[in-house]
Amino acid sequence: MGEKARRITYRAAGVDISAADNIVRLIRRKARPTFRPEVLNDLGFFGGLFELAEYTQPVLVSSVDGVGTKLKVACALNRHETIGMDLVHHCVNDILACGAEPLFFLDYLAMGKLLPHTIERIVQGMASALKEVGCTLIGGETAEMPGLYPEGEYDLVGFIVGVVERAGIIDGKGIKKGDAIIGLLSSGLHTNGYSLVRQVFNIDEDPSRLNRFYAELGKELGEELLTPHRCYLRQLKPLLPLIKGMAHITGGGLPGNLPRILPKGLAARIEKGSWQIPPIFSLIQNEGNVAEQEMYRVFNMGLGMMLVSSPADAAKLIKEMPDARLIGEVVGQRGRERVIII
């Protein structure tokens, strides 16, 4: 008889089912404290069950997003505690722009080889952020895919579902000429523009740049870049009836996001000196010789959320929110520009 054929296992191919099962148990422990009373089953079933109650005309609002190449910075520094917070806060802000409160959240985490300690830190940050906003981590997927991701790197995606009463939907339809535009300060870059940042500071070729202290920042570059994406739910929730439209300033910056809530024929006029732009943006612009127009197209420039309200309600909103700034007004559109920054 010839030599016995070598048996090939899934583990030998790079996928460890036992390790995956252990990680599921770890995630279950982190997720349970986020459960709302409406959750009808534990993690591990084929789907998450959530009972929708106590609403007159409920409208479900959903969104899906990732953290972008901010992940590259987290991996380079081996600091993963806040990246889950980034994901949750980004997704919560997206549905908040419609007036919705979050109900439940699902995550997708994929890497070449499962790293339990890294996963625990990511999920812990995610669970903490979800508990803070009253949202349930109801399910998700942790995938081990050898050969697809570089060693030590991963991808992270979040899917959120929220609810708003039909009468409470904020969609910008009531915005009119003369309405006030209010900006809420960001905590920094949030989760956008990191591909440009990595090129400006040559981070991929020289990760040690992340450990460089910058006097204008008062901290190391890596610490600044990993500042968590700010969540606006708690401060805005009681003020939603005063707001006609909200824009979460993410990819595309001010010019790419404000027009999404403006009715046809209207534009936004923004006054540059009406808020203080954080030092990180000037540092990026100077280090990379980036044109000002490009900066506004890529980054939030210090404003993470923008609100539109009547002038009278704007005064009330600013009084209630110390970090709110009156930054412009709605005007009639002339030509193709929908955001005029002066």
Same domain, residue pair 104 and 239: no
Q: Which CATH number do you get for residue 302?
A: 3.90.650.10
pLDDT by 10s per residue, the chain, length 342: 455 667 877 777 777 777 778 888 888 899 999 999 999 998 888 899 999 988 999 999 999 999 999 999 999 999 999 999 999 999 999 999 999 999 999 999 999 999 999 999 999 999 999 999 999 999 999 999 999 999 999 999 999 999 999 999 999 999 999 999 999 999 999 999 999 999 999 999 999 999 999 999 999 999 999 999 999 999 999 999 999 999 999 999 999 999 999 999 999 999 999 999 999 999 999 999 999 999 999 999 999 999 999 999 999 999 999 999 999 999 999 989 999 999
Predicted confidence at residue 192, as pLDDT, reads 96
Would you say residue 107 lies in a domain?
yes
Instruction: Output the six-digit token pair for 40.
Output: 């009808």
Same structural domain, 134 and 205: no
Residues 162 and 211 in one domain: no
- CA dihedral sign of residues 143, 151, 65, 190: positive
Burial bucket for residue 19 (CB in 10 Å: 0-12, 13-18, 19+): middle
User: How many structural domains are present in the chain?
Assistant: 2
Q: Which range marks the domain in which residue 159 is found?
A: 17-168
What burial letters (b/e) apply to 264-291, b meaning 16+ CB within 10 Å? Answer: eebbbbbeeeebebbbbbebbbeebebe
> Where does a domain end: 104, 139, 168?
168
The closest alpha carbon to 181, from 269, 121, 107, belongs to: 269
Mark which of 148, 168, 188 sits at the end of a domain.
168
Pairwise CA distance, residues 105 & 285, whole Å:
36
pLDDT of residue 1: 47
The CATH number covering residue 71 comes to 3.30.1330.10
